[in-house]
Amino acid sequence: MTEKVIAVADHRYRASAPLIPARLIAPTGELLDSLHRPLRDLRISVTDRCNFRCSYCMPRDVFDRDYTFLPHSSLLTFEEIVRVASLFVAHGVRKIRLTGGEPLLRRDLERLVAMLAALPGADGERLDLTLTTNGSILERKAAALKAAGLGRVTVSLDAVDDAIFRRMNDADFPVADVLRGIDAAERAGLGPIKVNMVVKRGTNDEQILPMARHFRGRDVALRFIEYMDVGATNGWRMDEVLPSAEVVERIAKEFALAPLPPSAPGETAERWRYAEAGVAGEIGTISSVTKAFCSDCNRARLSTEGKLFLCLFASRGHDLRALVRGGASDAEIAAAIGLVWQQRGDRYSELRSAVHAAAPAGERRVEMHYIGG
C-alpha cells in the first residue's frame, strides 16, 4: 500500500529571505552564476491551482479536495510581480514565461500581461513574453491575451485520443476543447505555437505518432518531454521513462526528419523539421533524464508567493516576498537577486542519481505545480 502524502505548500518549502549585500552593485545586464551561466529566462508561477490532475504533476490522491492551496493574500500581487520582474530584466532576463498551476485560472491575467508587456526589454530588445497553459480555457482567452501584449503560448497536451487524454488529465476534460484552444491561439497570432507532450512509457507513448500526424504540416513545434522525477508526489520510476532517442526513432520510421539548430541560447529542446519539402511544423525532444542540458541552463523560477528557485528540482528557495513586503528598496532587492544567482551551482539532471543518493532525510523537491514546468 502506498503511503499517502499530505502536502502543505507554503510551510513545506524552506525559504529564508536572501541576504542583501553590503555594497549594492547596480545591475549591469549580465549576471553569471558559479558555472558561468547567464540569467536569461524567468518563469513566474501566478497560481498553484489547476483544473487538471495530471499524474506526473498533481496526482489526485495527493492533490485532492482536502489539499490546502495558497491563500490569495500570500500570492504576489500583479504590482509586486512586475516590480520583481523589472529587476530581473535589469539583470539581463530577456524572456518571461507565465506558468502555474494553470495560469489562465488567475483572474484578470490579461492585466498582468499588459503590465509586463510594457516593461522595457534588456538592451532595448522587446521582452519575449510567453505563457504555458493546459489549453482548457485558451479558446476563450487567446484574443484578449494577444491584445494585452502576450507574444506566444505553449500548450501542454499529452494525447490527441480523447480517452487517453481524459485519463492523463484525470479531470475527464475533453481533448476537443484544448485543440480548439490551439486553433484560437493560432488565429490570434500567438504563434509559433509550441505543444508539449509528456511521454510516460506504458501510459501514452502510443500517442507519439498520432500527435505527430495531427500537427505535421502546421506552424507548430511539437515537443516530447521525458517523464521527470519532479517534486516528491508523482511516484516516478525510471522504467516509465521513454528515452527521447526512441521517440525520434519511432517518428523517423514514418516521416523523414532533418535536424535544426537551437532557436536561442539555453534552448531545452533538440529540434527536427520534416525533411519533405514544403511541410511546415517541427518536432523536438526535451530529455532531462537521458540527455541533461544543465550546462547552459539560464532559468530562474519565481513561485506564486514570491520564492526564488534556481532549479526545477530544487528543494530550497529564497524568499523575495519578504524583501518586497519588508520595505527593501529596488536596489537592495536587485542586489540580493544578484548575489543569489552568482552563487548558483544547480545542475540536478547531470547529477540525478548522485543527488538521490545524497539527499538529506526529509528534504523534499519542490512541486512543479508550485513553480511551473
Q: Which of 282, 276, 291 is nearest to 261 (CA)?
A: 282
Phi-psi label, residue 289: left if phi above 0, alpha if psi -120 to 50, beta otherwise: alpha
Q: Which is nearer to ligand SF4, 223 or 299 (CB)?
A: 299
| CA–CA distance, 348 with 27 (Å, rounded to integer) | 27
Q: Which is nearer to ligand SF4, 104 or 300 (CB)?
A: 300
Task: In angstroms, give the least distance from the CB of 24 to ligand SF4.
Answer: 27
Binding residue count for ligand SF4, defined by CB under 6 A: 12
Residue 165 lies near ligand SF4 (rule: CB under 6 A): no
Q: Which is nearer to ligand SF4, 96 or 115 (CB)?
A: 96
Phi-psi label, residue 164: left if phi above 0, alpha if psi -120 to 50, beta otherwise: alpha
Q: Would you say 302 and 43 are in contact if contact means Cβ atoms under 8 Å apart?
A: yes
State which amino acid sits at residue 10. D
Count of residues making up the chain: 373
| CA–CA distance, 97 with 114 (Å, rounded to integer) | 14
| CA–CA distance, 273 with 283 (Å, rounded to integer) | 6
Rule CB under 6 A: which of 263-292 touch ligand SF4?
Answer: 288
Q: Which is nearer to ligand SF4, 329 or 343 (CB)?
A: 343
Residue 215 lies near ligand SF4 (rule: CB under 6 A): no
Task: In angstroms, give the least distance from the CB of 349 to ligand SF4.
Answer: 4
Sign of CA dihedral 373, 300, 194, 277: negative
Q: Which is nearer to ligand SF4, 279 or 294 (CB)?
A: 294
Q: Which is nearer to ligand SF4, 75 or 310 (CB)?
A: 310
Tell the residue number behind the cell numbers 485520443, with chain if given: 161
* Contact with ligand SF4 (CB under 6 A) among 311, 320, 323, 333: 311
Task: In angstroms, give the least distance from the CB of 53 to ligand SF4.
Answer: 24
Part in contact with ligand SF4 (CB under 6 A); list of ranges 90-98, 145-153, 326-334, 342-350: 342-350
* Contact with ligand SF4 (CB under 6 A) among 348, 367, 368, 373: 348
* Contact with ligand SF4 (CB under 6 A) among 94, 349, 366, 373: 349
Q: Which is nearer to ligand SF4, 294 or 331 (CB)?
A: 294
* Contact with ligand SF4 (CB under 6 A) among 142, 346, 371, 372: 346
Backbone phi and psi for residue 15, each to the nearest 5 degrees, phi listed first? -155, 120
Task: In angstroms, give the least distance from the CB of 40 to ligand SF4.
Answer: 12
| CA–CA distance, 327 with 329 (Å, rounded to integer) | 6
User: How far is the CA of 312 from the CAs of 15, 114, 315, 370, in angstroms?
Assistant: 15, 27, 9, 10
Q: Would you say 49 and 69 are in contact if contact means Cβ atoms under 8 Å apart?
A: yes
Task: In angstroms, give the least distance from the CB of 313 to ligand SF4.
Answer: 5
Residue 313 lies near ligand SF4 (rule: CB under 6 A): yes
Joined grid coordinates for residue 17: 529571505
Residue 294 lies near ligand SF4 (rule: CB under 6 A): yes
Residue 56 lies near ligand SF4 (rule: CB under 6 A): no
Residue 297 lies near ligand SF4 (rule: CB under 6 A): yes
| CA–CA distance, 201 with 241 (Å, rounded to integer) | 6
Q: Which is nearer to ligand SF4, 106 or 299 (CB)?
A: 299
Task: In angstroms, give the least distance from the CB of 223 to ligand SF4.
Answer: 15
Strands 270-274 and 257-260: antiparallel
* Contact with ligand SF4 (CB under 6 A) among 40, 53, 307, 347: 347
Task: In angstroms, give the least distance from the CB of 142 to ligand SF4.
Answer: 28
Q: Would you say 306 and 15 are in contact if contact means Cβ atoms under 8 Å apart?
A: no
| CA–CA distance, 106 with 362 (Å, rounded to integer) | 31
* Contact with ligand SF4 (CB under 6 A) among 312, 323, 328, 371: 312
* Contact with ligand SF4 (CB under 6 A) among 173, 293, 341, 370: 293
Q: Which of 219, 196, 316, 208 is nearest to 268 (CA)?
A: 196
Applying CB under 6 A, which residues contact ligand SF4? 288, 293-294, 297, 299, 311-313, 346-349
